[in-house]
Chain A
Amino acid sequence: MKYVVGPAASIPPGTSLVIYPEPEPAGIGVFNIDGTFFALRNSCPHMGAPLCKGYVSGTTEAHLDGRKPPLVESVRDGEILACPWHHWEFDIATGRTIFPSKNRVRRYDVTVEESSEVLERLEKGVQTFPVSVDGDEATVVVEI
């Protein structure tokens, strides 16, 4: 089902919002990374923590060159979500842990649609987050 989150402008780049649609009581975190929206289930695959209440930052990469000490670089600022309980790092775009593992948080497709189209859908019974959608605003829609 399509779930209307609200105006894109309400989630500016670098911010996120947790929504609680009926089919997903744990909630879904919607993230805006440089204008692209991503959505992850608000439940860490490790111990069920409210993952999307964690904090967003970058991570590090090591570049090894033979016997030299590794060059450590800060990378992907704003693209990594750290769980508030045990600080596991997740790639917001894929839902995968940064360290090699089989753990993965469920992700959802997100689209940004013109509000006129969304209003059309609303008439067909799409579930919405209780926000007003005005005029031709871009609107965030999560596919649940």
Chain B
Amino acid sequence: MTVIDAAVHPIMNDAEYIERLPAPWRNVRLTSVLGQLFEAPFPEITDADAARSPAAMAELLFGTRGVDVAVLSPLTRGLLANQRQAAAVARATNEWVREVWLEHDERFVAGIRLPIADSAASVREIERWADDPRFVEVVVPLRAFAHYGDEQYFPVWEAAADHGLPVHIQDDLANAAEYLHTAVGQPVEWSENDATRSMMSAVHALSLTASSIPDRLPELRFLFGDGGIDIVKPLLWRLDADWKATRVEVPWIEELPSLRAPRFCRFITQAQDGTVDGVRHEDALDAITGRVSEGIYGSHTPFWDQVRISEVLPDGPDAARDALLWGNALRDIPRLAAQPALAALAPADAVR
């Protein structure tokens, strides 16, 4: 059985940042990894060794679990108010991933972290690393200062598309500088915060669907790293109704938004998705998402709420399980096809 794990999160510690950041940023204390606003009443990072050590991560993923290729999307320290600092942190993170992780094992590939609030700096960061075929996607934070369908991001998405890099949207957890979750205020309990994270995925998904970006960059894919497909779908149905009434404001949209979104939105498996869960039962998956082809397996190692390979459609059908475990990733992260560890695979037929 082939497995591509599309959500593996190395975490760089403070000492490593201090070593790699230029002045003055090496003298500025970074936010803690998980932020201060919300703290779970249990350890959220359950495989801490794997988070910091490529050897431990390789042993866990490739040894114990039988993963073939792991796509690393490292955490940074959340959105930062200072965009020069954010650019320095992104660059240090990318350097660390390349030197420490990609050099360790050819079964590791990675996403390029971008200081997304600064489009020009983000394009520079893409250009800095894109010639290295082991960088297979770009990674941007779920929390953002503007919806990802906003025109300000277009140069970033264009650069990503030009290099064949999908955009992985990932919650960085750390709450360094961010808006309120919702217009009605801030969650109080950790569980509220965790449950409402999917709302942010939904906002970005709707924003991108309503924008003209899918028409102008038809090859670009957005991978929602923290799931949310169970929230996004009903909101797309609402967008359908609104579109019929207000097509006049978005005349570039020529099909129902609920049909448009699956052309470019993908959802990495997430333990909290769905009424039962997002991946175990095909019937439930169909009811929630409509299509297996929109899902991509990701474990979320080293966190507590990992999705186990054995949880992905344990009762089949085999073709759908293969699509989730590797076929869809190979289709939607094009650079994976050139990785030595996956050389024997051909993209699977799309499973709908």
For residue B252, which residues in chain A have a CB less than 8 angstroms away from its CB? Answer: 62, 64, 70, 72
**Is A111 at the interface (CB under 8 A from chain B)?**
no
For residue A58, give the distance in angstroms from its CB to the closest CB of chain B: 9
Question: Contact between A62 and B212 (Cβ–Cβ < 8 Å)?
Answer: yes
For residue B183, give the distance in angstroms from its CB to the closest CB of chain A: 25
Q: Identify B217's interface contact among A61, A67, A69, A97, CB under 8 A.
A: A67
For residue B215, which residues in chain A have a CB less than 8 angstroms away from its CB? Answer: 64, 70
Given contacts A60-B249, A60-B251, A70-B252, contact A99 B216 (CB under 8 A): no
**Is A68 at the interface (CB under 8 A from chain B)?**
yes
For residue B186, give the distance in angstroms from its CB to the closest CB of chain A: 35
For residue A60, which residues in chain B have a CB less than 8 angstroms away from its CB? Answer: 248-249, 251
Chain A contact patch, size range = 20 to 34
For residue A107, give the distance in angstroms from its CB to the closest CB of chain B: 20
Q: Identify A62's interface contact among B158, B243, B251, B255, CB under 8 A.
A: B251
CA distance A97 to B256 in the complex (A): 13
**Is A133 at the interface (CB under 8 A from chain B)?**
no
The segment from A34-42, A84-92, A114-122 that touches chain B is A84-92
CA distance A98 to B251 in the complex (A): 10
Given contacts A59-B251, A72-B251, A100-B254, contact A64 B245 (CB under 8 A): no
For residue B161, give the distance in angstroms from its CB to the closest CB of chain A: 9
Question: Contact between A99 and B212 (Cβ–Cβ < 8 Å)?
Answer: no
Given contacts A66-B216, A70-B212, contact A61 B245 (CB under 8 A): no
Closest to A97 in B: B244
Restricting to B248-264, which residues have a CB under 8 Å from any CB of A? 248-252, 254-255
Q: Identify A68's interface contact among B216, B244, B249, CB under 8 A.
A: B216
CA distance A29 to B212 in the complex (A): 36
**Is B151 at the interface (CB under 8 A from chain A)?**
yes
**Is B191 at the interface (CB under 8 A from chain A)?**
no
Chain B contact patch, size range = 10 to 19
**Is B246 at the interface (CB under 8 A from chain A)?**
yes
**Is B247 at the interface (CB under 8 A from chain A)?**
yes
CA distance A138 to B216 in the complex (A): 51
Question: Contact between A88 and B248 (Cβ–Cβ < 8 Å)?
Answer: no
Restricting to B148-186, which residues have a CB under 8 Å from any CB of A? 151, 154, 158
Determine the main DSSP class of B at the interface with A: helix
Task: List the count of A-B residue pairs having beta carbons below 8 Å apart.
Answer: 49
Restricting to A87-110, which residues have a CB under 8 Å from any CB of B? 87-89, 97-101
For residue B247, which residues in chain A have a CB less than 8 angstroms away from its CB? Answer: 59, 89, 98-99
For residue B160, give the distance in angstroms from its CB to the closest CB of chain A: 13
Closest to A72 in B: B251
For residue A62, which residues in chain B have a CB less than 8 angstroms away from its CB? Answer: 212, 250-252
Closest to A59 in B: B248
CA distance A68 to B213 in the complex (A): 10
CA distance A100 to B243 in the complex (A): 11
Closest to A99 in B: B247
For residue B306, give the distance in angstroms from its CB to the closest CB of chain A: 38
For residue A99, which residues in chain B have a CB less than 8 angstroms away from its CB? Answer: 243-244, 247, 254
Q: Identify A86's interface contact among B151, B216, B217, B244, CB under 8 A.
A: B244
For residue A100, which residues in chain B have a CB less than 8 angstroms away from its CB? Answer: 254-255
For residue A89, which residues in chain B have a CB less than 8 angstroms away from its CB? Answer: 247-248
Q: Chain B 210-232 against A: per-residue CB contact (8 Å), 1 yes, 0 no?
A: 00100111000000000000000
CA distance A69 to B243 in the complex (A): 19
Question: Contact between A86 and B248 (Cβ–Cβ < 8 Å)?
Answer: no
CA distance A139 to B302 in the complex (A): 80
CA distance A69 to B246 in the complex (A): 19
Closest to A83 in B: B245
For residue A30, give the distance in angstroms from its CB to the closest CB of chain B: 24
Question: Contact between B212 and A69 (Cβ–Cβ < 8 Å)?
Answer: yes
Question: Contact between A61 and B216 (Cβ–Cβ < 8 Å)?
Answer: no
CA distance A100 to B247 in the complex (A): 10
Q: Which residues of B contact A (CB under 8 A)?
A: 151, 154, 158, 212, 215-217, 243-252, 254-255
Which A-B residue pairs are the 7 nearest by beta carbons? Answer: A62-B252, A62-B251, A87-B245, A60-B251, A70-B252, A67-B216, A99-B247
23 contacts between A and B (CB under 8 A): A59-B247, A60-B249, A62-B250, A64-B212, A64-B215, A64-B252, A67-B154, A67-B216, A67-B217, A68-B216, A69-B154, A69-B216, A70-B215, A70-B216, A72-B251, A86-B245, A87-B245, A87-B246, A89-B247, A97-B244, A99-B243, A99-B247, A101-B244
Given A67-B217, A87-B245, A89-B248, 7 more pairs with CB closer than 8 A: A60-B251, A68-B216, A86-B245, A88-B245, A99-B243, A99-B247, A100-B255
